Amino acid sequence: MSAPAATPGFNRFLVPIAAFVLIAIVFAVGIKHSPQVGVIRSPLIGKPAPSWSLPLLSDTHRTFGSKDLHGHWYVLNVWGTWCYACRDEHAALVAIARRTAVPIIGIDWRDDNAQARDWLAQLGNPYSTVATDHDGRVVIDWGVYGAPETFLVNPSGMVVYKQIGAMTPEVWQKEFASRLPPQLANRSS
């Protein structure tokens, strides 16, 4: 007696199922081993930083902007008192500002000036300068999705790196300080 022949319907589904499983395994291995999992690459990296000028938080009759920063390394941090993650990152920014010679420029985004000044008075001010972007137009030019976001800009005015989310000491060391000249990355005490 011979074995019963496989039903034609079963064979018809075996090849597509096997192909699907094989593709799923390839994607899973690729995603697991990708060094950039979860990273959103900014289209600004390697390109000139947007030109901007905004009123200062300390004196709204004076402005500050990209022309004042030309020829210098700087870190640009977009924040707001309404932003929970900004509060989480603030202590790290204060500590980083003590350790580094590169200026950290703050753009206070869609915020109340009095609340922003109180925030900095209470939590410390890591910024060498704070500008205010009440209508959000400058922040849009930088491609900001939400606060906090932080950029590293070189003396040529090129965006070198963008951090989406809260700054941490680990992110600072790995992504920012490693790209800075040593004399700026770590201030000698």
- Alpha-carbon gap, residue 51 to 96, rounded angstroms: 26
How confident is the model over 124-176, as pLDDT tens digits? 999 999 999 999 999 999 999 899 999 999 999 999 999 999 999 999 999 99
Q: Nearest 5 degrees, angle CA 32-CA 38-CA 42?
A: 135
pTM for this predicted structure: 0.78
What is the CATH superfamily name and number for domain 53-185?
Glutaredoxin (3.40.30.10)
Q: Give whole-number Cα distances, 114 to 83, 131, 133, in Å.
A: 16, 13, 14
